Amino acid sequence: MEQTRQWESARDEEVWAQKWTPLIAQIDDMALTAPVFGVIEQRFRQIAARCLDISSAAGSQSVAISSATTGEGKSAVSIGIAAAAARNLGSDVLLLETDLRRPTLAADFRLDASFGLAEYLASEVELEPIIQATRMQNVWLLPAGRPCANPGPLLRSQKFQDLMKTLHGVYPTIIIDAPPMLTSPHAAVIANQAESLVLVARAGHTHIQDAAQALKAAGDVPVRGVVLNGTREWIPRWIAGLLGVSRFAIE
Amino acid sequence: MTMKPLIVAARYKYLLLVPFIVILPIAAALAVFTQKQTYTSLSKVWVEQSPLVPTLPTSDNQYQTAAQNRASDLTEFLATDSFALDVARRAGLPTDTLPQKSAALFAVRNGTVVLAEGPHLVDISHRAATATEAKTINDALVAGFTAEVKARTSIDLQQAIAFYTKQQQSAQKQLDSAQSALQSYRASSSLDPQLTTLTSNVQTAQTALNDATKSLRDSNALVSSPGTQTVEVRDAPSQPTGPDARKKTSLLLFPVAGLLLAVSLSAGLYGLLLRTDNSIRVAEDLQALPGLLLLGSVPDVSKLKKRGWPKHFYRLAVTALGSTLQR
């Protein structure tokens, strides 16, 4: 009896692992419990559906994910949207890391970070070897490469614009993990290479004024909207119940 | 209904509690350590209405009891520097220099309580930092008070004697005059209706003279009798056997003041936070950015974890993560 129970438990774990491993393994700070992660995945699927055109005639589309300042979770949100988009659309999604000063995605995906966008723009490597498959189905990563102190000339170069055209020809969906709008002078340049911009705001961290300035800095790039990251129930649920306030008003 | 006030209160709840956490223990410590130990010496003095001669004009309030009048007297005496310094000297307090005088006056006046307990009994108590000081000053107070009352009684009696002496002399003159008039009339006429009137005048004058003489004799008797007193110490100032019980009101003063201060500071801090905190927390906050859509929200994972999912799921997640890393 005890042995049967252990076996069932082991099989449960296996089932859970197969189901949730891809996302649990990849998304930054999301080594979570399965039920919690179910909520996260559902949210990202909704976000991806709202910021990407899911019609088959949409063609190649690119979305830049940025934030006002650092530490607002734009890389994690980029991964989440890429993963959800790959599931929603069922086609290849390229995750392009353009924060050349502080690259993180290769490490998040446990992939080789020695060559990437910076090296390609500096003509040190070819494009094909640096685009790496991730363990997430249909999700590809073009990492930033080694940290670059002065990425301005690289990102403003014609080669970057040519690269974007090339990538649009290959990948139906490109998610660009862009640097913060207010702390990086090149963020607007990168955003201009995308068809639209999604701003990430960390709940309780991002100020209204910063978000407004970030939107202003984005210039003419159409802004799809805001992803509010790190939300929580700011008011205890029982108080919200007493006040007759919806859960969504407090989260 | 805007959620911001509630959200700010919930988010900064620990910060808003800081004034209470800091101030209330300090206030409680102050309440305990600033509360000085005191000792009280109590005495009871029996007093009579003054003056003893009822017909003499008096400054006393005739509608108050003797105890009330004398208690008022002592309170007034204490308000004078001469009496308070006299008490201080009796208690052996130094009064040579100006600071010493001020200290002595403060020591005598501060802590002295005078109460009328009944028609004749006056309670005099003195509270001081030590039992000896309390008793010494109370002794001096009672001695000074009784001396003052006796001196005033003596003055009253002297005034009474002078008053009745004058009355006696005046009555004697009237009697002499009436008798003289009566004798003259009797010599001149045998029987007349006026005789009755004159005789009556003589009798009236004689009565007034007798009354004045009696009052004068009474007054003189009071002055000459050492046992006659309008003030008498029934219970001499007691030696305090232990410190006074601490007053609840003074014990509560600091905590209540601390509580009010903490509430004020916390409310001020809350107002400041409410005014300055403009971070985005809920979808409603994005209304400040017109035209911007909320695509969705991602819950704070760490907070969800803390909410207490079953341990089983943690184990599953960790296993899942481990198996992924091994691939």
Task: Collect all residues of chain B within an 8 Å Cβ-Cβ radius of residue A10.
Answer: none
Query: Percent of chain A at pLDDT above 90?
Result: 26
H helix and E strand count, chain B: 10, 5
- Radius of gyration over alpha carbons of chain A, in Å? 20
Question: What is the average pLDDT score of chain A?
Answer: 80
Which residue does chain A place closest to B304, by CA atoms? Answer: A36
Which residue does chain B place closest to A225, by CA atoms? Answer: B293
CB contact under 8 A, B298 and A227: yes
Residue with tokens 């705001």: A201
- At residue B51 the predicted structure's pLDDT band, cuts being 50, 70 and 90, is low
Task: Collect all residues of chain B within an 8 Å Cβ-Cβ radius of residue A234.
Answer: 3, 6-7, 10-11, 281-282
ipTM confidence score: 0.80
Nearest neighbour of B11 by CB, restricted to A208, A224, A234: A234
In this prediction, residue B310 carries a pLDDT of: 45
Residue A153 structure tokens: 């000339």
User: Choosing among A231, A237, A239, A248, which should be mutated to test the B contact, i.e. which has the most B CBs within 10 A?
Assistant: A231
Question: What is the average pLDDT score of chain B?
Answer: 81
End-to-end CA distance of chain A: 44
CB contact under 8 A, B10 and A236: yes
Task: Collect all residues of chain B within an 8 Å Cβ-Cβ radius of residue A223.
Answer: 292
What angle, rounded to 10 degrees, do the helices at B4-11 and B248-276 form? Answer: 120
Distance from CA of B273 to the nearest CA of A (A): 13
CB contact under 8 A, B299 and A232: yes
CB contact under 8 A, A251 and B3: no
Residues of B with CB under 8 A from a CB of A: 1, 3, 6-7, 10-11, 278-286, 288-289, 292-305, 309, 313-321, 323-325, 327
- Going by C-alpha positions, the residue among A50, A71, A64, A82 that lies closest to residue A215 is A64
User: Choosing among A6, A14, A32, which should be mutated to test the B contact, i.e. which has the most B CBs within 10 A?
Assistant: A32
Query: Rounded CA gap, A23 and A87, in Å?
Result: 11
User: Choosing among B313, B316, B323, which should be mutated to test the A contact, i.e. which has the most A CBs within 10 A?
Assistant: B316
| Amino acid identity at A205 | H
Domains of chain B (ranges, CATH numbers): 4-33+261-326 (no CATH), 39-235 (3.30.1890)
Residue B92 structure tokens: 């052996």
CB contact under 8 A, B321 and A24: yes
Highest mean pLDDT among B39-48, B246-255, B309-318: B39-48
Is residue B60 a contact partner of residue B69, using CB atoms and an 8 Å limit? yes
Query: Rounded CA gap, B242 and B222, in Å?
Result: 43
Query: Rounded CA gap, A213 and A187, in Å?
Result: 13
Highest mean pLDDT among B3-7, B117-121, B193-197: B117-121
State the number of CA atoms in the 13 A half-sphere of A162 facing the CB. 8
CB contact under 8 A, A211 and B6: no
Q: Give the pLDDT confidence of B203-219 residue by residue, as tens digits.
A: 888 888 888 888 778 77
State the number of CA atoms in the 13 A half-sphere of B222 facing the CB. 21
Beta bridge partners of B6: none
Residues B240-253, mean pLDDT to the nearest whole number: 81
| Buried-exposed string B188-225: b where 16+ CB fall within 10 A, e elsewhere | eeeeeeeeeebeebbeebbebbeebbebbebbeebeee
Task: Collect all residues of chain B within an 8 Å Cβ-Cβ radius of residue A238.
Answer: none
- At residue A26 the predicted structure's pLDDT band, cuts being 50, 70 and 90, is very low
Compute the CA torsion angle B162, B165, B166, B172 (nearest 10 deg). Answer: 180
Residue with tokens 């005059």: B177
Is residue B233 a contact partner of residue B145, using CB atoms and an 8 Å limit? no
Which residue does chain A place closest to B284, by CA atoms? Answer: A249
Task: Collect all residues of chain B within an 8 Å Cβ-Cβ radius of residue A110.
Answer: 325
Residue B148 structure tokens: 């003052």
Distance from CA of A217 to the nearest CA of B (A): 14
CB contact under 8 A, A203 and B304: no
- At residue A27 the predicted structure's pLDDT band, cuts being 50, 70 and 90, is very low
B280 φ/ψ angles, rounded to the nearest 5 degrees: -85, 130
Residue with tokens 């004068």: B216
Task: Collect all residues of chain B within an 8 Å Cβ-Cβ radius of residue A36.
Answer: 299, 301, 304-305, 309, 313
Query: Rounded CA gap, A90 and B234, in Å?
Result: 109
Compare A9 and A186 and report the one with higher pLDDT.
A186
Query: Rounded CA gap, B69 and B119, in Å?
Result: 10
Task: Collect all residues of chain A within an 8 Å Cβ-Cβ radius of residue B279.
Answer: 203-208
Residues A71-86, mean pLDDT to the nearest whole number: 87
Q: Give the pLDDT confidence of B104-146 residue by residue, as tens digits.
A: 999 999 889 999 998 999 999 999 989 999 999 999 999 999 8
Residues A6-17, mean pLDDT to the nearest whole number: 43
Residues A82-95, mean pLDDT to the nearest whole number: 87
Query: Percent of chain A at pLDDT above 70?
Result: 80
DSSP structure string for A94-139: EEEE---SS--HHHHTT---SSSHHHHHTTSS-HHHH-EE-SSTTE
In this prediction, residue A231 carries a pLDDT of: 82
Domains of chain A (ranges, CATH numbers): 2-243 (3.40.50.300)
Q: Is A161 exposed, middle or buried (0-12, 13-18, 19+ CB in 10 A)?
A: middle
Task: Collect all residues of chain A within an 8 Å Cβ-Cβ radius of residue B3.
Answer: 234-235, 245, 249-250
- At residue A116 the predicted structure's pLDDT band, cuts being 50, 70 and 90, is very high
CB contact under 8 A, A206 and B313: no
pLDDT above 70 for A34: no
pLDDT above 50 for A215: yes
Query: Rounded CA gap, A110 and B254, in Å?
Result: 61
Residues B299-314, mean pLDDT to the nearest whole number: 53
pLDDT above 70 for A103: yes
